Amino acid sequence: MTKLRKQRRKKVFRHNVNRKRVRNKIFNQGNIGCQKVKNEWDQKKSVQGNLEEMGLSYDPNLTIAIPKRKKQLKEALGAVDDDSQKEDPQEPKKKFVAQALEADAKAPREKRFRLPKGQVEWITYLMKKYGNDYRGMARDSKNYYQETWKQLRQKIRSFKKIPEQYERYLKENGLERVESDEETMTDDEL
């Protein structure tokens, strides 16, 4: 048992510590980015308690446990432990939060894929000069990366699938969008 004198000697007032900031840091719950979770959050409960009440997982390693080999062998032989039968998950009270999050995750998203400006300029240069002659594009003196005709064809196809950039190219060149036979042709025909 330590002496009272030694205990008091260790306690020193630290002038450089802002006790208010330390207290706020300890009791701070953090910022919740998801509005659905934030609306149903109960400040009086722990993080784990709140998440379990909403039907969400606090620790995914416990929720989706990796099965143990020994346990699998016992189940295969027919000997079942009492521990596995005791687990009876209760229905979460705020189940609608998890369902809303799932619905939001499954909702279709707008594709925001765009080609870089330099690549668009390169592709439009090739399309203006060669049209659909991919082998001629591959032999072009400005083909610094020595891309094959198939690589160039694939880049042009991906460029044509981006309406925002392709429509701008067509408008600048006074062309109309036409479904060409080239896209339906096989590699042998080219």
pTM over 0.75: no
- Mean local confidence (pLDDT), 76-83: 70
Choose between 8 and 96: higher pLDDT.
Answer: 96
CB 164 within 8 A of CB 158: no
Confidence band of 65 (pLDDT split at 50, 70, 90): confident
Residue 107 has pLDDT above 70, yes or no: yes
Burial 73-83 (b: 16+ CB within 10 A, else e): eeeeeeeeeee
Confidence band of 181 (pLDDT split at 50, 70, 90): very low
